[in-house]
């Protein structure tokens, strides 16, 4: 199967390569001059990185294998500091490179470490989960977590390239794959309604890696993100639409101590955003949101968190400006807008709808 190249425009343009059997494309994404490549990957999944390290070694690169904790536990200052020390030991210079292999947490960490080491070295990301392919690895936003919230410390560093090898999705647990669909569906609501039509036409196929629409869904969502981040890397305006559903989602993740899957939290957050749109008299997409998320097995309600605690978490959202809360809502199909500083009564009323 041939590779698809999706170009991300901007001051530092790059390609996202999508396909099956595209591992050999990895070294074409690295900029000339690198001698040492540090490969950051989850410690429990060494086999994921073997094709990457083998391809690099065969091309003559000196490879440093740097395992990190699995999942969100990797995104900490302590882990980043250990990686900085490892880069120093392996003599990684400004002309060398970092390659991040794994899910969204690993690619976030790899991008952050690359962006802060020597004030920035090139990074190529090799996402191996659906969520990482369609969201985390594309866009140049890299972050780590603090006790106060998720991704509050980070950098903007576009990767030198992103390699999406679709065959790695076959081994994903079903629940993790379905959770990744939430970000694809989000892309349908904010920019590309054809995504929603594809999912609704065959929800079961949408939840299956290698299904008839798998590649098209992935490529469509990557294109949505590429178009947005190419126009607004630093989230100064347009890019905020990618946070549709994320204000409550991040609050839920923190409330659950990051034990809930990101996509599951985003699914709930999208229902909340839809309720905000409806209750504020803008656009009613609640029924369709609930229907499409339910059809693929994603949650549409949340009962565990006290509203007061979630509200406190939401006050640290990155879209806020001063004391003003900002939410991404919909003004129509694929027409995202902003709800500025809504009344507390409206926010609580929307939460009651998803916790009923």
Q: Which DSSP string do the residues of 337-354 spell out, in sequence order?
A: EEEES--HHHHHHHHHHH
**Tally of CB atoms within 10 A around 23:** 18
- Residues 84 and 86: their CA atoms lie apart, in Å, by 5
Please give the Cα distance from 344 to 311 (Å, whole number): 9
* pLDDT confidence of residue 325: 86
Is residue 257 part of an annotated ligand binding site? Answer: no
Active site residue 287: no
Respond yes or no: is residue 151 known to be catalytic: no
Residue 225 catalytic?
A: yes
Encoded tokens for 83 = 């990686």
For the entire predicted model, the pTM comes to 0.92
Lowest mean pLDDT among 28-32, 177-181, 230-234, 265-269: 230-234
Residues of the chain with CATH 1.20.1090.10: 174-355
Per-residue pLDDT at 205:
95
Q: Which of 41, 141, 221, 326 is catalytic?
A: 141
Q: What is the pLDDT of residue 203?
A: 97
Task: Give the model's confidence band at 271: pLDDT under 50 very low, under 70 low, under 90 confident, else very high.
Answer: very high
Q: What angle do CA 12, 14, 16 make, to 5 degrees?
A: 150
- 50 appears as a binding residue in the annotation: no
Based on the number of CB atoms within 10 Å of its own CB, is 81 exposed (0-12), middle (13-18) or buried (19 or more)?
exposed
Q: Where in the chain is the domain with CATH 3.40.50.1970?
A: 4-171
Output the pLDDT for position 2.
84
**Sheet strands (E) in 106-222:** 122-127, 141-146, 149-156, 161-165
Percent of the chain with pLDDT over 70: 97
**Taking the domain 174-355, which CATH number applies?**
1.20.1090.10
pLDDT at residue 225 in the model = 95
Has 71 been labeled as part of a binding site?
Answer: yes
Is 243 a known active-site residue?
A: yes
Concerning whether 141 is annotated as a catalytic residue, the answer is yes
Active site residue 239: yes
Identify which of 207-221, 303-317, 322-336 has the greatest average pLDDT: 207-221
Does 24 carry a binding-site annotation?
Answer: no
User: In the structure, what pLDDT confidence band is assigned to residue 1 with cuts at 50, 70 and 90?
Assistant: low
Q: Looking at the predicted structure, is the pLDDT value of residue 319 above 80? A: no
- Only one residue has tokens 């994903």, namely 172
- The fraction of the chain above a pLDDT of 90, given in percent, is 80
Q: Could you give the C-alpha distances from 217 to 69, 156, 173, 298, 313, in angstroms and in order?
A: 30, 26, 19, 17, 32
Total residue count of the chain as it appears in this document: 356
4-171 CATH pick, 3.40.50.1970, 3.30.465.10, 3.40.50.300, 1.20.200.10? 3.40.50.1970
């Amino acid at each position: 199967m041939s590779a698809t190249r999706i170009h991300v425009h901007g001051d530092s343009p790059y390609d996202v390569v999508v396909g099956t059997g595209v591992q050999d494309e990895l070294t074409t994404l690295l900029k000339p001059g690198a001698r040492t490549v540090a490969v950051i990957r989850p410690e429990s999944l060494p086999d994921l990185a073997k094709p990457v390290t083998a391809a690099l070694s065969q091309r003559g690169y000196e490879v440093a294998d740097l395992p990190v904790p699995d999942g969100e536990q990797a995104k900490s200052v302590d882990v980043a500091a250990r990686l900085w020390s490892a880069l120093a030991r392996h003599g990684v210079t400004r002309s060398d490179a970092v390659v991040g292999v794994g899910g969204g947490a690993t690619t976030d960490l790899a991008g952050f470490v690359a962006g802060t080491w020597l004030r920035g070295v090139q990074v190529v990301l090799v996402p191996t989960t659906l969520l990482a392919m369609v969201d985390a690895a594309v866009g140049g936003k890299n972050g780590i977590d603090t006790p106060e919230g998720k991704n509050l410390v980070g950098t903007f560093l576009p990767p030198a390239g992103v390699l999406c090898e679709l065959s790695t999705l076959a081994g994903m647990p079903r629940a993790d794959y379905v959770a990744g669909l939430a970000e694809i569906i989000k892309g349908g609501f904010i920019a590309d309604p054809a995504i929603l039509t594809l999912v609704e036409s065959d929800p079961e196929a949408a939840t299956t890696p290698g299904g008839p629409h798998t590649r098209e869904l992935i490529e469509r969502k990557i294109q949505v993100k590429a178009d947005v981040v190419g126009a607004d890397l630093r989230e100064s305006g347009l890019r905020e639409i990618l946070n549709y559903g994320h204000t409550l989602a991040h609050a839920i993740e923190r409330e659950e101590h990051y034990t809930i899957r990101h996509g599951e939290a985003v699914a709930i957050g999208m229902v909340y955003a839809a309720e905000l749109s409806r209750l504020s008299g803008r656009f009613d997409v609640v029924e369709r949101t609930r229907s499409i998320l339910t059809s693929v097995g994603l949650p549409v309600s949340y009962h565990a968190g006290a509203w007061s605690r979630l509200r406190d978490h939401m006050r640290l959202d990155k879209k806020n400006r001063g004391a003003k809360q900002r939410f991404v809502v919909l003004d129509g199909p694929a027409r995202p807008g902003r709800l500025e500083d809504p009344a507390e009564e409206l926010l609580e009323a929307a939460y009651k709808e998803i916790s009923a």
